[in-house]
Amino acid sequence: LQLKFMGYVRCLKHVLPIMQKQGLGRVVNLIGNDGVKPSYWEIAPGAANAAGQNLTLALAAQYGKDNISFVAVNPGPVRTERWAGLVDAMARDMKVSREEADMLAPRSIPLGRIAEVEEVASLVAYLASDLAHFVNGTMIEIDGGQQKPLMDRFRDR
């Protein structure tokens, strides 16, 4: 919670007064789908993400009068260096090959793959633009429709 949730709080503490003074602002919090799609493998990160999501929605209601809008982006698995480390840890913990561990998430996603960085970045860029200023007080999952219970089932075998 100190890093994930309090990081949002600390950043907002400094930027909100500036946005209020200029009469305009856009906050796009990149959080994660664990807060809305829980998994018993990810209880602590899910709790931190749920707190960030709640913060985003609460502040959207509070700061709308200042023309500041808030949106939470909740990605599922994204092909990054961090993801590679998580796959290595899953392979080790589950005693399976790295290739087998790397297929766990795609099996839980109807689109059959995890997101690419550019897909998430494109969504964030749009949401931060003037085109999306009226998108406020909402959360957007960008996870290919991931079904966390499927991933848990594959992990439990």
Return per-residue pLDDT of the chain as tens, 157 residues: 788 899 999 999 999 999 999 999 999 999 999 999 877 778 899 999 999 999 999 999 999 999 999 999 999 999 999 999 999 998 998 899 999 999 988 998 999 999 999 999 999 999 999 999 999 999 999 999 998 776 666 666 6
pLDDT at 25: 98
Contact at 8 Å (CB) between 60 and 136?
Answer: yes
Task: Calculate Rg over the CA atoms of the chain.
Answer: 17
Integer Cα distance of 116 and 112 in angstroms: 13
Indicate the domain borders of the chain: 4-156
Integer Cα distance of 67 and 50 in angstroms: 25
Helix (H) or strand (E) holding 11: helix 4-22
pLDDT at 124: 99
CATH class of 4-156: alpha beta
* Sequence-separated (6 or more) residues with CB below 8 Å from residue 86: none
Sign of the CA dihedral with 7 first, then 58, 70, and 145 last: positive
Contact at 8 Å (CB) between 111 and 145?
Answer: yes
| Residue showing tokens 């089932």 | 153
pLDDT at 94: 87
